[in-house]
């Protein structure tokens, strides 16, 4: 739910609730005032009407005359002159109906209900009820007494329908006011929130569109003089800082690359020097011994053989360096990986048997052919296999797997149960002349060459090693081999 909806919903709910509470309070207050006013009017009329009735009853008590006739006159007078009076009954102190606007012809003198005199207390009472004939009626029962002398009771009914109509109008008026005020408030709120969220949306769009690759592109930012405007300005500053950081980062990367390259050249030179120097030293020693005793043909023959081996070692080093650094593109042909694996296993079968290593090869049934340089892939597999054979002890196991990784590529993995590679070496393992083998057993160029070949095929190589458990080299190669790249 958006911020706009949330704010409108909750604020609207609170405003509507508060308006409702206030309106109800007003409604009941005004209702009470209206009713009090009407009841007060009715009371005033009742007390005014009571005076002649009291006199009539007093004179009746003094035996001056029968009150009925004069009471009827009083009633007629009040009915004619008081607006809204609906009925009037006068009861004497014995609660017998003495005069009324509604004589019942069958029982001309009605007695009041017996419950009226359950106690000897009379009191003024006002009630509002719905009358069958007149609708809503305000009925006042007004006891006629002076000091402690009770003379009778008048019951007067006043039209209550206008009061009800007034209260109904008040209700409808307040309801309309409520709706109008709430609607206007919500509309104003909606407009305000829209303006607010428009600025926020503008800022969000600017953040989305910001790209360090095109930092010169001008982005529209909210420029209002409020919190969101300030936020927009801060984002502009952040943009500038990011651009500066990018430049700094690029500069740093260049420096690192330069330093790394120099370090690499140093390591490469030292590796070359070390490997070649060993052979050269050996050759020099042999030459020294031959020169010292040239007539010792047996020694000369033996040392010449050693010199030849030393020269061969130097040749191998140079050859591999050339392979590592050559810039020829691989020549891509259709290659069957399973076939390449079988060929390599045949080539290494003597060593495998000699070392007593168990090698399994499990090509997936859906392993497709790929476009690659057959000989380079063969060399890659050979290097990985030799490394694994060197790593495993007698009776060790090597497992070669190949299969389809996804629609575009295949994988080829070589897994051995050798001692594994320590974590601190995993970053160095592909560097030229880095080796964990004993001196003289490896040149330290195998994995560098492997990495170069794989990358020239637009593939990847990954090392997963758990020291003491296993080591897995996994190569992925594109099926179509279309990303042809020179070996760098």
Partner 1 sequence: MRNFLGLCPMSRFRILATLGGLFCLLLLFTFMLYRSVVNLSGEYIDNRTVSIDIQNFSEYPTKYFGVVSRYPAHIIYQQYQPLMDYLNRNTDYHFQLKLSNSYSETVQQLASGEVDVALLGSYMYATSKDEHDLIAILKPLNEDSLALRRSVLFTSKNSIIHKTDDLRGKKLALASKESFSGNWMPLHMLRLNGITRDDLEDISNYPNHHTVIHKVLRGEYDAGAVRESVARDFMDRGLRIFEYSDPLPTSPIVVTKQQDPDMVAAIINALVHQDPARTDKAGPIDIMDGGTVVSYIETDGSEYNFIRRVTNE
Q: How many residues bind partner 1 (CB under 8 A)?
A: 48
Least Cβ distance, residue 15 to partner 1 (angstroms): 13
Specify the DSSP class assigned to residue 425: G
Should residue 150 be labelled a site residue for partner 1 when binding is judged by CB under 8 A?
A: yes
3-state secondary structure of 267: helix
Stretch of 68-76, 163-171, 233-241, 388-396 lying at the interface with partner 1 (CB under 8 A): 163-171
**Applying CB under 8 A, does 293 fall inside the site for partner 1?**
no
Site map for partner 1, 11-30, x if CB under 8 A? --x--x-------x--xx--
Binding-site member from 10, 61, 207, 238 for partner 1 (CB under 8 A) = 61
Q: Which of 14, 21, 175, 333 binds partner 1 (CB under 8 A)?
A: 175
Q: Binding to partner 1 by residue 43, rule CB under 8 A? A: yes
Interface map 86-125 toward partner 1 (x if CB under 8 A):
----------------------------------xxxxxx
Interacting residue with partner 1 among 7, 70, 79, 126 (CB under 8 A): 126
* Three-state DSSP class for residue 428: coil
Q: Which is nearer to partner 1, 71 or 445 (CB)?
A: 71
For position 83 contacting partner 1 by CB under 8 A, the verdict is: no
CA gap 61, 32 in Å, rounded: 41
Shortest distance in whole angstroms from residue 195 CB to partner 1: 15
Shortest distance (Å) from residue 221 CB to partner 1? 21
Inter-residue contact 314 to 276 (CB < 8 Å): yes
If the CB atoms of residues 150 and 235 are measured against partner 1, the closer one turns out to be 150
| Whole-angstrom distance, CA of residue 369 vs CA of residue 451 | 21
- The span of 9-17, 261-269, 438-446, 476-484 binding partner 1 (CB under 8 A) equals 9-17
Distance between CA atoms of 342 and 359, rounded to whole angstroms? 11
C-alpha 422 chain-centroid distance: 41
Residue identified by tokens 């009853």 is 57
CA distance 373 to 378: 9
Which of 129, 125, 118 minimizes the C-alpha distance to 159? 129
Q: What does the alpha-carbon distance between residue 154 and residue 123 come to, in Å, rounded to a whole number? A: 11
The answer to whether residue 58 forms part of the interface with partner 1 (CB under 8 A) is: yes
- DSSP, residue by residue, 147-185: TTEEEEEEEEEEE-HHHHHHHHHHHHHHHHHHHHHHHHH
Under rule CB under 8 A, residue 37 binds partner 1: no
| Residue 156, φ and ψ in degrees, nearest 5 | -120, 140
Residue 331 CA to residue 376 CA, distance in Å, equals: 9
* Pick 11 or 126: Cβ nearer partner 1: 126
Q: How far is the CB of 122 from partner 1 (least distance, A)?
A: 6
Distance CA 438, CA 444 (A): 11
Q: Please identify which residue in 7, 15, 128, 276 interacts with partner 1, judged by CB under 8 A.
A: 128
Contact (CB, 8 A) for 164 and 138 = no
Pair of tokens at residue 408: 């575009």
**How far is 89 from 97, CA to CA, in rounded Å?**
7
CA distances from 189 to 19, 174, 193 (A): 16, 22, 6
Q: Which stretch binds partner 1 (CB under 8 A): 127-135, 263-271, 326-334, 423-431?
A: 127-135
Query: Considering only residues 156, 163, 389, 429, which one is a binding residue for partner 1 as defined by CB under 8 A?
Result: 163
Residue 51 touches partner 1, criterion: CB under 8 A: yes
Q: Does 198 bind partner 1 (CB under 8 A)?
A: no
Select from 39, 90, 155, 196 the one that contacts partner 1 (CB under 8 A).
39
How many Cα atoms within 13 Å fall on the side-chain side of residue 481? 20
Q: Is 31 in the site for partner 1 (CB under 8 A)?
A: yes
Q: Which residues neighbour 348 within 8 Å (Cβ) at sequence distance 6 or greater?
A: 382, 385, 386, 389
- Least separation in angstroms between CB 183 and partner 1: 13
Instruction: Give me the residues that bind partner 1 (CB under 8 A), please.
Output: 1-2, 4-5, 9, 13, 16, 24, 27-28, 31, 35-36, 39, 43, 51, 54-55, 58-59, 61-62, 120-130, 136, 143, 145-150, 160, 163-164, 167-168, 171, 175
């Amino acid at each position: 739910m958006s911020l706009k909806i949330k704010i409108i919903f909750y604020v609207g709910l609170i405003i509507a609730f508060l308006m409702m509470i206030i309106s109800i309070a007003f409604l009941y207050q005004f209702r009470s005032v209206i009713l009090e006013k009407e009841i007060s009017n009715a009371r005033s009329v009742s007390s005014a009407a009571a005076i002649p009735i009291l006199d009539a009853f007093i004179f009746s008590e003094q035996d001056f005359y029968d009150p009925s006739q004069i009471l009827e006159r009083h009633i007629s007078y009040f009915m004619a002159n008081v607006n809204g009076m609906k009925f009037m009954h006068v009861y004497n102190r014995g609660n017998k109906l003495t005069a009324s606007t509604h004589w019942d012809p069958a029982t001309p003198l009605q007695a009041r209900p017996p419950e009226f005199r359950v106690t000897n207390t009379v009191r003024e009472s006002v009630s509002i009820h719905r009358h069958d004939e007149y609708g809503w009626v305000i009925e006042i029962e007004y006891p006629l007494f002076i000091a402690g002398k009770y003379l009778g009771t008048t019951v007067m009914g006043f039209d209550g329908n206008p009061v009800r109509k007034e209260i109904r109008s008040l209700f409808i008026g307040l309801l309309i006011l409520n709706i109008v005020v709430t609607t206007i408030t919500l509309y104003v709120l909606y407009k305000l929130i829209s303006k607010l969220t428009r600025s926020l949306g503008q800022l969000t769009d600017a953040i989305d569109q910001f790209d360090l690759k095109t930092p010169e592109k001008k982005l529209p930012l909210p420029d209002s003089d409020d919190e969101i405007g300030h936020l927009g300005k801060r984002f502009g500053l952040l943009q500038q800082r990011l651009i500066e950081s990018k430049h700094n980062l690029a500069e740093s990367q260049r420096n690192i690359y330069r330093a790394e390259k120099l370090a690499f050249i140093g390591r490469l030179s030292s590796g070359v020097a070390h490997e070649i120097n060993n052979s050269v030293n050996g050759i020099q020693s042999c030459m020294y011994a031959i020169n010292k005793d040239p007539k010792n043909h047996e020694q000369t023959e033996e040392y010449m053989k050693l010199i030849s081996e030393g020269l061969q070692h130097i040749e191998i080093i140079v050859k591999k360096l050339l392979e590592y650094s050559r810039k020829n593109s691989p020549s891509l042909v259709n290659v069957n990986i399973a076939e390449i694996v079988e060929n390599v296993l045949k080539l290494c079968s003597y060593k495998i048997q000699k070392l007593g290593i168990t090698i399994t090869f499990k090509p997936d049934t859906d392993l497709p052919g790929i476009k690659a340089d057959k000989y380079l892939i063969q060399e890659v597999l050979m290097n990985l296999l030799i490394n694994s054979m060197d790593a495993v002890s007698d009776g060790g196991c090597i497992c070669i797997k190949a299969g389809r990784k996804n629609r575009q590529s295949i994988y080829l993995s070589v897994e051995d149960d050798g001692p594994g590679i320590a974590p601190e070496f995993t970053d160095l393992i592909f560097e030229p002349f880095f080796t964990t083998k004993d001196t003289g057993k490896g040149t330290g160029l195998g994995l560098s060459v492997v990495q170069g070949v794989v990358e020239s095929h637009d593939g990847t190589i990954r090392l997963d090693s758990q020291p003491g458990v296993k080591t897995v080299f996994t190569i992925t190669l594109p099926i179509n081999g279309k990303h042809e790249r020179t070996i760098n």
